[in-house]
Amino acid sequence: MTIEADRFAGFVAIDWSGAHGGAHKGIRMALCRQGGEAPTLVAPPGRNWSRADVARWLLDRADEPLLIGFDFSFSAPFVERGAHLPGDHPTPDARALWAFVERSCDDPDLGARSFLEARRGRHFYFGAADGRKADFLHWRRCEVAGDGARKPSTVYDAIGASQVAKASFAGMRLLHQLNGRVPIWPFDPVPRAGAVVVEIYTTIAARDAGRPRGRSKMRSPEALDAALSQLGSAPHVPLPVYDDHSTDAILTAAWLRTVATRGDLWHPAGLAPEIAQTEGWTFGVS
């Protein structure tokens, strides 16, 4: 598969949240077009984005040539143990996992806190009462591939600032809504037209933009512009607040624009067919 230079006209990065509730300060969406203009934040329909708002925004633009990145894990580890949730309801591929999460949740706004809490101590680690944390640490193949940029947590870790569990399982409910309506790579092939959704990891974008390991966050206009410059982008429109969610989304949208045609990212060496359907892959890990 070769991605032509004009395949995508817009590039969207979404910093996601698994927080409880119906509107989330932690969700930010940034958009840029072809060329060198800096990405700008997309205003939510209300004060803050809800996850349902994001789903509607995307579905309304399913026919537009957009490359859209979400910063959460699209699936759980499967290859290592032959199951996403060993001993629980069998889910032979990622789509089955998304459907199972959807059927099991009644949380507001596509949340998934109840899914994790119902499986606390069996699959998800919430604290010392659940046993040894090491027993819960399992990674997808893409999370142990590449240059050592392994994600700091797994989807089974539901405690601490670096945990990705709540965000990822809430995201799986969103992916279930998109399934069959918007292609989701690598579970679906990239079509010749329309939107495509990929999993992103904002730290990869920051590293490619020259941010040193362990210092990926940008909390000043100068830091953000310096990173954007490394990606061939013009300076950004000043922000009212320089929070991690906003700067991560802006920088990662610019990064998507620079790497969208790289064949090695669409065809990573470790992406076997079984992995593509059960675990997925983080775009940017080659």
> Could you report the per-residue pLDDT of 154-196, keeping only the tens digit for each?
999 998 766 789 999 999 999 999 999 999 999 999 999 999 9
pLDDT for the residue numbered 253: 98
β-sheet bridge partners, residue 213:
none
- Residues in the chain predicted with pLDDT less than 70, given as ranges, are 146-152, 161-162, 214-216, 218
Does the global pTM surpass 0.85? Answer: yes
Predicted local distance difference test score (pLDDT) of residue 218: 67
Q: Could you give all domains of the chain from N- to C-terminal order, each with its CATH number?
A: 10-74+181-266 (3.30.420), 94-178 (no CATH)
One-character DSSP codes across the chain: ----TTS-SEEEEEE----SSS-BTT-EEEEEESSSPPPEEPPPSSSSB-HHHHHHHHHHTTTS-EEEEESS-SS---TTTTSSSTTSS--SSHHHHHHHHHHH---GGG--HHHHHTTBTTTBB-SGGG--GGGG----GGGS-SSS---SS-TTB-SSTT--HHHHHHHHHHHHHHTTTS-BTTTSPPPSSS-EEEE--HHHHHHHTTPPTT-----SHHHHHHHHHHTTPPPPPP-S---HHHHHHHHHHHHHHHHTT-HHHHS-TT--HHHHHHT--BTT--
Q: State residue 219's pLDDT score.
A: 73
